[in-house]
Structures are given as C-alpha cells and as structure tokens.
Structure 1
Amino acid sequence: AQRIVASREFWTEGALEREWHADVVFLNPPFSRVGEFVRYAVDQYQRGFCTELFILCRCAPSSSWFSSSWVLPHCHTLFFSRRMRFWTAGTGRRRGGGAKGDVVPAQSSMPHEIAMLYFGPDTIGFEYWFQGYGRIVLPLEIEQMLYVDSNQIDQNVNLISQNDEDDPFLQCDV
C-alpha cells in the first residue's frame, strides 16, 4: 500500500506513542482498534500537528468515535457508494507494472461500508477529487446555520395544541 500512497514517512508500529508533525496525514487504522486511532488522529489535528488529515475507516455513524468526529468543524465525510477492495502485499505475484507491481487486490471486498473523514481547509479540493466515489457531507459553518425564530416555534406549538387537544401524545410542555 505504501507504493500506492507514496508517503515520505509511514509507520506500522508505535504510531500512538508519537506526535504526528506533517502537512498531510493519511490514516488507514487497524479496524480492530479504529476508535483508538481515530480519537488520537483527531487530537493530533486539533493540536495543530497536521494541516490536513485523511482517515479511511469503517462507516459506523452510531459508534462513539465516528459520531464525535464527523460533526467537528472542518470534518468532511465521504460515504463510499461501493464496497472497497484493499490491496494485499507480499504475495510474490506481479500485476502489470508501475506502482501496483508488488500488490494484488484482495479476493473479496470489505464486509462493511467504508468512509473517509477529511479534516482540513480544502473543501473545494476534497469535493473535486472525491465526488465521484460517493456522497460527501460537508461541515456546516456557523454562518450558514439556519437560526430559528422562537416566535415561529411558539406559533407552531399553538397550532398543534389547538388542532389536536385530545391527542395525549401531543400534550406535552415545550
């Protein structure tokens, strides 16, 4: 995989015991410890040790590590539209040439959905390069939020209570 990603530096061990000082970090964590790695990576990004952070991970919005990460400012999320196949190294077989010469595709796709979390300022670049792979969810900036008028909420609650006075489900204090 290193030949495809072409990192200047990569670690297979000890990644959680060091600071990640880099412009761009790409993380494909061991899926058995994904929560631990994602939390650590997000902490490294928030502390300013890297400018951009890409995390390839299991798509698990109900898990605590995923739900607490993908709602953060600057977190762009790509939900891949197709199952992903990973590359397996060390088979001794060659496929064609070029960068993929020492790796072969895995025999089957992952048994679960995959997402990519991107933390960084380059929204346009992220959309440009990854839009063809699935659905992208962009962070909602404070300026873009729809501010709800409390007077309108009061009017809607009054309409409900006037029309459905006998419905016990709707008889609650708001």
Structure 2
Amino acid sequence: MERLKRMSVFAKVVELGSFTAAARQLQMSVSSISQTVAKLEDELQVKLLNRSTRSLGLTEAGKIYYQGCRRMLFEAQDVHEQLYAFNNTPIGTLRIGCSSTMAQNVLARITAKMLKEYPGLSVNLVTGIPAPDLIADGLDVVIRVGALQDSSLFSPPPGLNADGIMRR
C-alpha cells in the first residue's frame, strides 16, 4: 500500500513538473515529497529524475517507471470505481420466494419495473406449495401472507403501498 502511495506521489511530481506543485496539490511538505521520491529511487536502485534548482526531467528509467505508475494508478482507480458502483447499484440475482398468486398479481409488475431500472439485476421468483423456505431454498427474501412458522424471522405489518411494495 505504501508503494502505491509513493508511486502516486512520483506520478504527481512528473505530471505537475515540480516538487512544489505536487506538494501543494497533495497537501504535503516539499521535503516529504522529496523524501518519497528519494525512497523510491533507493528502493529501485535507479535514478528516476534529473533535477536541478530550475528544472526537472525524467531519466529513461523514470519514463518507464512513470508509464507503469500511470497504469497501476489507473487500474487502482478503476477498481475503486467499480466497487463504488457495485455498492450503490443493485447487481446480481435476487432470489424471492412467494406464492404463485403473489408472483403473478403483485411481483410481476414490480420486478419488471426493477429490471428496467437496474439492468445488472436479475430476479428469480421461487414459488410453490409448501411455501419456499428462506434458508433451505437459498432465498434472499420470502414474501408470505399469514402467520410465520418461525418466530425468529422478521415480519412487517401487513399491507402494500400504492406501488405494491410491502409497507414497513
């Protein structure tokens, strides 16, 4: 993790063309930026930057390393964004257990709307008599009408709102 942070600092120095600009943007001290780059060079046992008081340039090794840093940082950002989307957009299969009457009269309309809104989602309705079992059938949700047989399960007050979704 520390290596990725050092790669990020190095890439920012190259992109902005100075230690001072990188320090300002990363909200770090110039000496901290300089130490980070020096630590990278020591770790890699190669000089990455040609620097003087007025200019900064990449060595051949620095060019190769910078391209690698850009790829790694892009991949890290891409994975982060994918997981952010994963956590904020329903995807995968939602397994719902219910009676066939409930599936036909209520859930068909609701699931059609959900699938249109969330294309990464698929719904698997499991119906049958006896009623599907949450644990045994590997279901995410079971919708039943009537008394619960297992008192450890959660049961909201009966009734549906205007969209056909159970009220809480």
Same fold (TM over 0.5): no
**Which structure has the greater CA radius of gyration?**
2
Higher relative contact order by CA 8 Å / sep ≥ 6: 1 or 2?
1
TM-score, normalising length from structure 2? 0.20
